[in-house]
Amino acid sequence: MRVNEVKPITDQGLAASIRNSNQGVFELVFKFYYSGLVVYADKIVQNIDVSEDIVQSVFMKLWETRETIEIRSFRSYFIQCVKNRCIDHIRNQHVKSKFDHRISETNQFVTDDDLWTKSDLAGLIEESVESLPPRCREIFKMSRYENLKIAEIAGQLHISTRTVETQISKALKILRLKLVDYLSLLFPLFFS
């Protein structure tokens, strides 16, 4: 039987396929980056529906202009496009003061490192949450994933709000140790 050499998937390779109108590859790239880009855009425009529209329009533009576009890195390409459209959106809203404020916020707080893909986070985060002690994990998940208020969690579990707070703080402490390497990567020269 013949064994084909497995070639690593590169952005250039994927971009070439898209240039050749390969819809399957387009779908793959879309599904890989979409949710991350939406959350990234949401940080700037503060509106999840607008963010979805923005990211969709970026992908539509990519497909429509696929034959002429040069992409070396999807990541930086998408960041650039999404960021520009977000700024356009804010500008179009004619809220000058807000606009200035947001842009400065953008420059300061939304960096390229804020783009995470679902698969990045899935591995990193789900694993570390699963490593929490059971009670701590349960409370942490209720707070962060089910969006329950401290009082609601306390009510459901018949414990004091103080215990809930302590458990969440404990969770953060443990998660910090698990994720410390990634956190320091996120802050290369932030304060220097």
Q: Which residues contribute to the site for other proteins (CB under 8 A)?
A: 1-2, 23-24, 27, 30-31, 34-36, 38-39, 42, 48, 52, 55-56, 59-60, 63-64, 116, 118, 121, 125, 143-145, 147, 150, 161, 165-166, 168-169, 172-173, 175-176, 179, 183-184, 186-187, 190-191
Shortest Å, Cβ 38 to other proteins = 5
11 near 74, Cβ under 8 Å? yes
Name the residue nearer to other proteins (CB basis): 100 or 120. 120
H/E stretch holding 126 reads none
Shortest Å, Cβ 96 to other proteins = 28
Determine whether 106 is exposed, middle or buried from the number of CB atoms within 10 Å of its CB (0-12, 13-18, 19+).
middle
The residue type of 114 is D
Name the residue nearer to other proteins (CB basis): 5 or 8. 5
Name the residue nearer to other proteins (CB basis): 99 or 118. 118
Name the residue nearer to other proteins (CB basis): 95 or 155. 155
First to last CA, the chain: 58
Question: How many angstroms separate the CA atoms of 69 and 18, rounded?
Answer: 10
Other beta carbons within 10 Å of 45:
21
Other beta carbons within 10 Å of 139:
26
Question: How many angstroms separate the CA atoms of 87 and 83, rounded?
Answer: 6
Name the residue nearer to other proteins (CB basis): 96 or 173. 173
Shortest Å, Cβ 180 to other proteins = 8
Name the residue nearer to other proteins (CB basis): 13 or 123. 123
Shortest Å, Cβ 63 to other proteins = 5
Shortest Å, Cβ 99 to other proteins = 23
Shortest Å, Cβ 86 to other proteins = 16
Question: How many angstroms separate the CA atoms of 162 and 52, rounded?
Answer: 38
Question: How many angstroms separate the CA atoms of 36 and 40, rounded?
Answer: 6
